[in-house]
Amino acid sequence: MQSVAHLVKVSVPGYLSELPIPDTFGGWFRLGFKDWLALVPPTALAAGVGYTVYRAYCPKARVACSGRTNKIVQLSNPKVVDTIDVEDISEKAAFCRCWKSKNWPYCDGSHANHNKETGDNIGPVIVKKNK
């Protein structure tokens, strides 16, 4: 525990106080290569912490990277497969591609909410009969 206290109270503040941060805007242009190199680790740490906070608290970031696409349709099956005869389609049919439809495999418009939440552009597959 003493090593952690030393790190927090002595080492990190000492390291940060020795960083070459200029007092003026023009001072940034006078930094040398070694000065810029010394600024890389704290900048990378700040970027990593910022990205982690963004991923944790931004709802759109969590939705976009949720992993699984299908969250409601036949989850107990290892693979979801549906067969529909073209002869059974009257004039046209819209099939879901967003996996959000309550009327699977047909589209019920659920992709509109999905697109609004995620910024995606998913729409249905429309199958028409030739006349």
Question: What's the token pair of residue 88?
Answer: 């059974």
Q: What's residue 43's pLDDT? A: 94
Catalytic residue among 9, 34, 71, 79: 79
Digit-by-digit pLDDT tens for the chain (131 residues) are: 788 888 778 888 888 888 998 999 999 999 999 999 999 999 999 999 999 988 888 766 655 555 677 777 888 888 888 887 777 778 888 888 888 888 888 899 988 988 888 788 888 988 887 76
Domain 67-130 CATH assignment equals 1.20.120.140: no
CB atoms within 10 A of CB 27: 12
> What residue spans define the domains of the chain?
1-61, 67-130
- Annotated catalytic residue 79: yes
- pTM confidence score: 0.45
Q: Name, in order, each residue with C-beta under 8 angstroms of 30's C-beta and a sequence gap of 6 or more.
A: 22
Q: What's residue 24's pLDDT? A: 92
CA–CA separation, 93 and 99 (whole Å): 16
